[in-house]
């Protein structure tokens, strides 16, 4: 993605608008710091990855009794110095 400083963007606004209209998004920066991203209005929004429940159906969690006892033998061995 191309980056243009504010002065460049002001002097080449028509050309940059055409770029965005063709689907080429770009960033406008001020003093090298990105400030805004310019995209065409009809451009699809980037899909945000859905994080909550993203492993639904892919893993299983043992019941509470079994889960709470996982590693208990190893932990007991560490505390007893074995």
pLDDT tens sequence across 39-68 = 888 756 666 666 788 788 888 878 888 888
Rounded to 5 degrees, what angle do the CA atoms 11, 16, 21 make?
A: 155
Q: Which two tokens stand for residue 51?
A: 């994080």
User: pTM of whole model > 0.85?
Assistant: no
More confident residue, 43 or 33: 33
Q: Which domains does the chain have, with CATH numbers?
A: 2-38 (3.40.1620.10)
Judged against a pLDDT cut of 70, whether residue 13 lies above it is answered with yes
Short-list 38, 8, 34, CA closest to 21: 38
């Amino acid at each position: 993605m191309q980056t243009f400083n504010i002065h460049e963007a002001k002097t080449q606004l028509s050309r940059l608008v055409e770029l965005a209209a063709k689907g080429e998004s770009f960033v406008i920066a001020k003093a090298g710091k990105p400030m805004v991203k310019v995209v065409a209005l009809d451009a699809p929004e980037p899909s945000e990855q859905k994080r909550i429940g993203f492993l639904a159906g892919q893993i299983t969690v043992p019941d509470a009794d079994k889960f709470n006892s996982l590693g208990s033998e190893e932990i007991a061995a560490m505390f007893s110095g074995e």
